[in-house]
């Protein structure tokens, strides 16, 4: 059996899996991939087996129609066809929120859909209008708003996708028969000026903060996480519509459900099958900022939808370059520096100790998930399983 040499540090590689379809046993599908890697000497104790969330959700048949979204929203907010639906701080996305919006618009076919975007970007950094629009219009958008009529006069296209999301979302709402009113303001309570009958807080990472602000003055409000999150449903996720994605013309894939249990079952199956103790995670988007577009690449609510116990702690450690710099400045030899660093690595420091200088403690699950997402690629490299080695050395 081949083994990775000891001089390698953290190593990650994607593994081709083939097509996973609704109803497949994802535990066995992943095990087959890992067992094949094991036969080639590529699996050791302490490795992390990362499984992309979309293949888990697809195997679970965690797929819903836009009509099912509409039915659940109607029930949760007690809306009818003539109601006014408020949508607060959604993301600008053709494959994530646009299909959800189609489902929402079905609820109020002869009513109104009021969409409030944040300015000048959505909650993950997608640019919606020119950065200096507030100055051009002489407005303070922590208080004021850029109205729908003003927005329709601006033909601003997203710098990466080339899409005018204001016009796209307007067309989606109007195609369903409802009247569209889209505006920009960073004051979440501004949407209440439009007298909505119900509001869906649609941002991702600050949803509870925004929800609490609205609930102080308006009761009929929910988040995306509250829609299709009932375990009694045909398809559901504890994340509701968060982490969902377009599946086909009329279908939307939800985030995987009970992913922590899925991870534990995969871990158990690998232990029983090949005798290796590995960690397992079901990963989504990585958490990183694209320096070219300034988009925060985390449209999922979390990096890891579920993982085994070994990935629950934070990644901490001494700053290697700090010790090299400090010890070399003291005139220590290469051999002395290497010996001291090896000794220091075995010690436990408080996070504010100088030995930890420059080290930001991050959750292991976030770091590994981000690495796995970069390896598998947002465009999907056909490798939904990523093996990470050497992480716990």
Determine the pLDDT at residue 139. 87
* Residue 85 bridge partners (DSSP): 113, 198
Q: Is the peptide bond before 198 cis (omega within 30 degrees of 0)?
A: no
Please tell me the distance from the alpha carbon of residue 138 to that of residue 146, in angstroms, as a whole number. Answer: 10
Q: Within 10 A of 294 (CB to CB), how many other CB atoms are there?
A: 13
- What is the dihedral angle through the alpha carbons of 54, 204, 222, 90, rounded to the nearest 10 degrees? -100
Determine the pLDDT at residue 360. 60
Contact in structure between 184 and 117 (CB atoms under 8 Å): yes
Determine the pLDDT at residue 351. 44
Which segments of the chain have a pLDDT < 50? Answer: 1, 351-358, 379
Q: Taking the mean position of all CA atoms in its chain, how far away is CA 33?
A: 25
Cβ contacts of 42 within 8 Å, gap of 6 or more: 2, 4, 387
Contact in structure between 287 and 366 (CB atoms under 8 Å): yes
Which CATH fold topology does 16-56+256-315+361-389 show?
A: 60s Ribosomal Protein L30; Chain: A; (3.30.1330)
Nearest to 389 by CA among 50, 133, 17, 114: 50
Tokens, residue 1: 């059996």
Q: In 3-state terms, what secondary structure has residue 313?
A: coil
- What is the dihedral angle through the alpha carbons of 302, 304, 308, 311, rounded to the nearest 10 degrees? -90
Q: Phi-psi bin for 380: left (phi > 0), alpha (psi -120 to 50), beta? A: left
R_g (Cα) of the chain, nearest Å: 24
* Residue 48 bridge partners (DSSP): 279, 388
Determine the pLDDT at residue 352. 42
Please tell me the distance from the alpha carbon of residue 201 to that of residue 223, in angstroms, as a whole number. Answer: 5
CATH top-level class of 63-253: alpha beta
Rounded to the nearest 10 degrees, the angle between the axes of helix 66-77 and helix 97-105 is 60
Contact in structure between 307 and 354 (CB atoms under 8 Å): no
Please tell me the distance from the alpha carbon of residue 185 to that of residue 345, in angstroms, as a whole number. Answer: 49
- What is the dihedral angle through the alpha carbons of 181, 186, 187, 190, rounded to the nearest 10 degrees? -10
Determine the pLDDT at residue 249. 86
Determine the pLDDT at residue 353. 44
Span 161-194, pLDDT tens digits = 899 999 999 999 999 899 999 999 999 999 999 9
């Amino acid at each position: 059996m081949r083994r990775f040499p000891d001089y390698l540090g953290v190593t990650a590689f994607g593994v081709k899996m083939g097509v996973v379809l609704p109803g497949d046993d994802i535990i066995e599908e992943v095990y087959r991939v890992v067992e094949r890697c094991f036969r080639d000497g590529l699996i050791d104790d302490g490795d992390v087996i990362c499984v992309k969330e979309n293949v888990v959700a697809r195997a679970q048949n965690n797929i819903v129609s836009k009509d099912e979204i509409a039915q659940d929203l109607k029930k949760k907010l007690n809306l009818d066809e003539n109601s006014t639906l408020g949508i607060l701080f959604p993301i600008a996305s053709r494959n994530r929120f646009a299909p959800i919006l189609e489902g929402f618009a079905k609820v109020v076919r002869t009513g109104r859909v009021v969409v409030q975007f944040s300015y000048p970007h959505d909650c993950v950094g997608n640019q919606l209008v020119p950065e200096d629009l507030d100055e051009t219009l002489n407005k303070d958008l922590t208080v004021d708003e850029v109205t729908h009529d003003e927005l329709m006069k601006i033909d601003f296209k997203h710098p990466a996708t080339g899409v005018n999301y204001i016009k796209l979302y307007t067309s989606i709402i109007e195609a369903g028969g409802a009247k569209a009113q889209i505006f920009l303001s960073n004051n979440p309570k501004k949407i209440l000026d439009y007298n909505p009958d119900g509001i869906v807080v649609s941002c991702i990472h600050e949803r509870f903060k925004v929800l609490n602000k609205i609930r102080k003055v308006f009761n009929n409000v929910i988040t995306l996480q509250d829609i299709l999150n009932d375990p009694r449903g045909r398809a559901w996720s504890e994340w509701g519509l968060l982490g969902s994605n377009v599946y086909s013309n009329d279908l939307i894939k939800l985030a995987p459900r009970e992913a922590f249990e899925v991870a534990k079952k995969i871990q158990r199956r690998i232990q029983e099958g090949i005798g290796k103790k590995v960690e397992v995670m079901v990963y989504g988007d990585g958490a990183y900022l694209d320096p070219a577009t300034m988009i925060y690449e985390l449209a999922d609510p979390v990096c890891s939808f579920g993982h085994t116990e070994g990935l629950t702690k934070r990644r901490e450690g001494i700053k290697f370059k700090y010790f090299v710099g400090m010890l070399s400045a003291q005139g220590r030899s290469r051999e002395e520096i290497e010996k001291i660093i090896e000794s220091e690595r075995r010690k436990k420091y408080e996070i504010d100790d100088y030995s930890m200088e420059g080290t930001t403690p991050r959750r292991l699950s976030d770091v590994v998930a981000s690495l796995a997402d970069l390896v598998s690629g947002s465009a999907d490299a056909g490798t939904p399983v990523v093996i990470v080695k050497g992480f716990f050395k």
